[in-house]
Amino acid sequence: MNKRTFLKSFGMAAASASFLGFDFKKAYQTEILLPKAIQKGDAVGIISPSAATADRMEFTYAKEAMEALGFKVKLGKNLTNRFGHLAGTDQERAEDLNQMFADSEVKAIVCIRGGSGASRILPLIDYDLVRKNPKPLMGYSDITALHCALHSQTGLISFHGPNGSGSWNSFNVKQFENMFFNREKVTFKNEGGKGDELVLKANRIQTLKSGTAEGKILGGNLTVLSALSGTPYYPDFQDAILFIEDIGEDPYRIDRMMSTLQLNGTLSKIKGFIFGQCSDCKPGGGYGSLTLDQILDQYVLPLNIPAYTGAMIGHIPRQFIVPVGANVKMDAITGTFTLTQSIFQS
């Protein structure tokens, strides 16, 4: 995921919004908006709101994965387009998203990949259309921009989980079926196993501060989330459970982004904290570096709220499908969080 490209893209998006006359002062009171339930046999739309896909087999993988889950598939008109590193112009990518929400045949929307660029289309999304046609949208990484925007502007619960061309292993498939088909109030608990090790190492959680907390779960990719700070697309974290993850960031950058969440008031508002996986986030060369553990201790421990790290959230093959905006109860000792509400319309 090219984070520097993302930050530049977001600046251009803000300028575009101003030009288009978007009212950045307008704020919506976001009651939770439940998406409509889905079932096997429904049509799922596949779109690419972020970066372009270089390997055309990725389109095949995504289509076949959705069909294997039991869905019919409708491809976005502009799915295979390319504009620089983006999967088409801002207008084309936003058009596909809006069209999928408008299409009564399409019952859910899956993003084929992340990358960068989703923030550029946020001013072009028809949020009134989304409110009138609430349906599940799923993806992760750069798709955090869409999760934040959809929730902040409409209250819609969306799903931070595998992208269409990502890994659809047995863990992800079972979780998807339990959540979407069986409509269970899922408990998100790391799968574990010692394997050949004397002690458990894989998917090990670490409690930073014990306790339980209940609230709306919000967050996603830390880089994307922090870059939305100060925009109307940044969610209200009052009494929320914050979850974050990232990839390929040196600890000093994680420190800078956590500082942003502190300075913009997010950390002072939340009731619980869950850190997922930070893949390839080790210190680089130079004069030395804070460790990730030290950074989390400095920003999270003073909050005196339940907190743990190591959740199966992030750029990993087997990952939780987190219903962004839904109410959950977390337990920092067991390293779990559980849905406390139905997340689909009856």
Which regions of 21-176 does DSSP assign to beta strands (E)?
A: 43-47, 72-75, 106-111, 137-139, 158-160
Q: Is the dihedral of CA 140, 141, 146, 150 positive or negative?
A: positive
Q: Which residues are catalytic?
A: 141, 245, 315
Residues 6+ away with beta carbon under 8 Å from 82: 52, 88
Cα distances from 279 to residues 15, 135, 194, 217, 298, in angstroms, run 32, 31, 21, 22, 20
User: What residue has token string 């460790």?
Assistant: 291
For the chain, how many helices (H) and strands (E)?
10, 14
